[in-house]
Amino acid sequence: MKKEIRIFFTAMMFLTRLPVPKYTDHSQEYLEKSARYFPLIGWMVAGISWLTYVVLNKYIGEDIAIVGSIIAGILTTGAFHEDGFADCCDAFGGGWTKEKILTIMKDSRLGTFGVVGLISILSVKFLLLRELPKFTPSLENPSINVFVNYGNFLLMLLAAHGASRLMGVYTIRFYEYVTDIDASKAKPITSKKPGIGTLAVATLFALAPFALLDIRLLISVIPMAIAAWQANVYFKKWIGGYTGDCLGAIQQIAEIVFYLSAIIILRYWI
């Protein structure tokens, strides 16, 4: 149990800016095993984003609350995934060979493609998140319990952040890491592919929130998986595999696809 707790804190240290116990270090062994807890770390990011939304929505307004929740998630992770998405936009938008793409991806400067990509994906995320709270129980006579008022919204965020990070775990398992770039964010966890047990634990955490949602929302995972698969096919075509930045891009894309799929299901089926 102590070992698993340390592995969890290693995943937390790797994916977030949240404080961890002093004994947590960059142990290669624990980093390799930490992927099993990536969806659980997603829950933590979702919980912080949700709490920010609830507070700001109560005292200021819904739009500010949505913006605040997005910013809270970014601050929690240190823009870990957003940075990867922006780097991919720059690299694949401006590079036409594997070498050029990897060189641009390693560059710490943000280019036009990265700026446009970030503006686009954050705008889409804002608009989709603005729709999700509408599918909650009526708030005409709200309860003093925020979990009653916004419980479904919390579960949706838990599902989105958990399942989107699961896509990265499967990428690490089934695709090849591009090893000729030293600065990749994912290098510490890619030297050994996750085993079946790690995949099983990560999948369990990622899908757990769906047990408290309408079972039909589980279908949202299918387009997420398709989007992640297509992204990996694209990355493999151009650079022969994935990098840490690619994992960040996959998480952001999968999260957006979940929100879009869930809204369609909620609006036209449930």
Can you give the three-state secondary structure of 38-72, one letter per residue? HHHHHHHHHHHHHHHHHHHHHHCCHHHHHHHHHHH
- CA 32 vs. chain centroid, Å, equals 19
> What are the residue ranges in the chain where pLDDT is below 70?
137-140, 179-191
pLDDT score, position 248: 96
Q: Give the residue carrying structure tokens 């994912």.
A: 186
State the Cα–Cα distance between residues 162 and 172, nearest whole angstrom: 16
Q: With beta carbons less than 8 A apart as the criterion, state whether 21 and 9 touch.
A: yes
- On the 0-12 / 13-18 / 19+ scale of CB atoms within 10 A, 135 is middle
Any alpha helices (H) in 178-270, and if so which ranges? Answer: 196-207, 221-239, 244-268
pLDDT, tens digit, 9 for 90 and up, residues 179-223: 654 555 566 666 678 899 999 999 999 999 999 999 999 999 999
Q: Residue 185: its pLDDT value, please?
A: 57
At 26 the pLDDT is 75
pTM of the model: 0.93
Say how far apart CA 261 and CA 225 lie, in whole Å: 12
Phi, psi of 242 (to 5 degrees): -135, 160
Q: Where are the domains of the chain?
A: 2-10+35-268
Task: Report the pLDDT value the prediction gives residue 29, as an integer from 0 to 100.
Answer: 83
What are the distances in angstroms from CA 130 to CA 66, 67, 70, 148? 7, 9, 11, 19
The angle at the Cα of 102, spanning 33 to 106, to the nearest 5 degrees, equals 75
Write the CA distances from 31 to 4, 14, 22, 162, 205, integer angstroms: 12, 8, 16, 18, 18
Residue 181 is predicted with a pLDDT of 45
